[in-house]
Amino acid sequence: MTARTIPLPSPDLYYPASGVSVVTALRERRSQHEFAAEHLSLTVLGTLLNESAGLTEVFGRGTPSPGRAYPVSCVVAACAVDGLPAAFYRYDPREHTLAPLDTEVAPREWLQRVLANRTIADTEAAHVFAVGDPRSAEQHFGPNADRFLMLEAGQLVQSMLLVAQHQKIGACTIGRFDQAEAQALLGPATGGGPVLHSAAFGHYPEARVQSAAHRSAA
């Protein structure tokens, strides 16, 4: 671990039931296109990452990976997370740490330029990008490499959406971003791989907190 690496709260082996079942989470999941001006806690972000992408001896990984190759990494653009300077970080799924990327680029401004949806970029607290390692994929999957990278990235983001819903955190899966810009900034940190998919996270705005659908999951 380098001096600047940030440990995330340990995965909770007895992750408490929030009362939101998988079926309820699926029924209540809706893309959130605007978020409250409230920071996410490091625990919420850590849980999102740990439960979807984290690798533990006890649980393996929440999201499946062909042949347990795990060729898709998570890069976080943290805009408003308590205890986390606004910056880009690579998630280490075994150590449960965030390592800053070697860049001075400000995440909010960058997201505002790169995402097609400006309101999301203006208000989200954190954005997670799924970045593939094509060499690992080629080595493990051969002719299926491109397809398996995309499939794993999709499953990874879906896991995050469900964990977000479980925590009653707003989320939106985001496929429309400037591929070339994303690749240029995030690719080198992850072996130069393609930026495959992404999702935005933040607290619900007041209107959604008040909605009947949200209250029914309480």
Binding site for ligand FMN (CB under 6 A): 30-31, 33, 116-117, 172-176
Min. distance of Cβ 8 from ligand FMN in angstroms? 26
Min. distance of Cβ 200 from ligand FMN in angstroms? 8
- Do residues 171 and 165 lie in contact, with contact meaning Cβ atoms separated by under 8 Å? yes
Q: Between residues 101 and 153, which has the closer beta carbon with respect to ligand FMN?
A: 153
Min. distance of Cβ 64 from ligand FMN in angstroms? 18
Q: Between residues 141 and 177, which has the closer beta carbon with respect to ligand FMN?
A: 177
* 83-112: b (≥16 Cβ within 10 Å) or e: ebeebbbbbbbeebbbbbbeeeeebbebbe
Q: Between residues 96 and 168, which has the closer beta carbon with respect to ligand FMN?
A: 168
Torsion of CA 152, 153, 154, 157, to 10 degrees: 120
Residue type present at position 99? A
Contacts of residue 72, Cβ cutoff 8 Å, sequence gap at least 6:
65, 130, 131, 132, 133, 149, 152, 153, 156, 196
Min. distance of Cβ 172 from ligand FMN in angstroms? 5
Q: How far apart are CA 97 and CA 216, in angstroms?
A: 34
Min. distance of Cβ 197 from ligand FMN in angstroms? 7
Q: Between residues 1 and 213, which has the closer beta carbon with respect to ligand FMN?
A: 213
Contacts of residue 203, Cβ cutoff 8 Å, sequence gap at least 6:
35, 36, 38, 40, 125, 169, 170
Q: Between residues 54 and 170, which has the closer beta carbon with respect to ligand FMN?
A: 170
